[in-house]
Amino acid sequence: MEAKLELRWSPQQIASWLFLEFPDDSEMRVSHETIYLSLFVQSLGGLRKELTRYLRMKRSVRRPGGKAPHNGQSHIPAMVNISERPAEAQDRAVPGHWEGDLLYGQGPGVVATLVERHSRFVMLVGLPQTHRADIVAAALAAKITELPEQLRRSLTWDQGREMAQHAVFTVTSGVPVYFCDPRSPWQRGSNENTNGLLRQYLPRKSRLGDRTQHELDAIADELNGRPRQTLGWMTPSQALDRAMR
């Protein structure tokens, strides 16, 4: 990709070329918005500055689709909309595409939930003190990189401010983040359903910040071992293991 940028190819030209060059290898293809996102991540430092100078439009900020920022509550830089998400994520055919959210209780501390779309396998991440964007990005990256690379394809999130540093998460983990449309929880349907099941263990009126990561892992293990009708009565653990064979 770097070589094409140095030839002053646009990200859209690179994305289209990759699609033609690797028609049967989805891991070798990225959208033009993902290319833009990777270039404008602040933490890339010298590499970022070196490559962005080849872009035709010398901008310091990238807004997906060239849209002006809206005046809502999110103000998340360089969001890539769910419409850009690979088709394989939409039809659940390939494992490794995740949905994420935060569960809130009483007092400080929240629990981040990650649900794999193909198998409904869940992982929980405790954030006992704060869900500031930099803390969320680091905690999610640490958790998801425990997985093999083939299970780290994408993450879908709503437009909550806790994911304002999604680009840092992507650089650290290699997992692109796609954002739902505003007020569209059904676009993370697996996650919403799983969050409902988790309330059996993590009630709204409980202090989620008091839960240890060991306790959260045990809750995830129990839920991943529960047969699900949507999986033909396999457990999420079985479904994920089967998909990896």
Q: Left, alpha or beta for 45 (phi > 0: left; psi -120 to 50: alpha)?
A: left
Instruction: Compute CA 180 distance to the chain's CA centroid, rounded to the nearest angstrom.
Output: 11
Q: What's the whole-model pTM score?
A: 0.72
Range(s) for CATH 3.30.420.10 in the chain? 82-243
Residues ≥6 apart with Cβ < 8 Å to 131 = 102, 110, 112, 162
> Rounded CA gap, 80 and 223, in Å?
31
Instruction: List pLDDT tens digits, range 154-175.
Output: 999 999 999 999 999 999 999 9
pLDDT one-digit tens code per residue, 64-93: 444 444 434 457 888 999 999 989 999 999
Which residues touch 86 (CB under 8 Å, ≥6 apart)?
A: 26, 97, 153, 154
DSSP symbols for 206-238: S-GGG--HHHHHHHHHHHHTS--GGGTT--HHH
CATH of domain 82-243: 3.30.420.10
Chain segment 121-134, per-residue pLDDT in tens: 999 999 998 999 99
Q: Which residues, including other chains, have CB under 8 Å from residue 47's CB and lie 6 or more apart?
A: none
The set of residues, in sequence order, having a beta carbon less than 8 Å from that of 151 and lying 6+ positions away, is: 95, 96, 116, 240, 244
Distance from C-alpha of 212 to C-alpha of 203, rounded to nearest angstrom:
15
- Tally of CB atoms within 10 A around 185: 12
Count CB atoms within 10 A of the CB of residue 229: 7
Task: With cut-offs at 50, 70 and 90, classify the pLDDT of residue 144.
Answer: very high
Give 205's contacts (C-beta < 8 A, 6+ positions apart). 105, 106
Question: Which residue is it, tokens 């990561």?
Answer: 213
Residue 33: its pLDDT value, please? 64
Other CB atoms within a 10 A radius of the CB of residue 29 amount to: 17
Mean pLDDT of the chain: 83
Could you read off the pLDDT of 37-47 as tens digits, one per residue?
Answer: 666 553 344 44
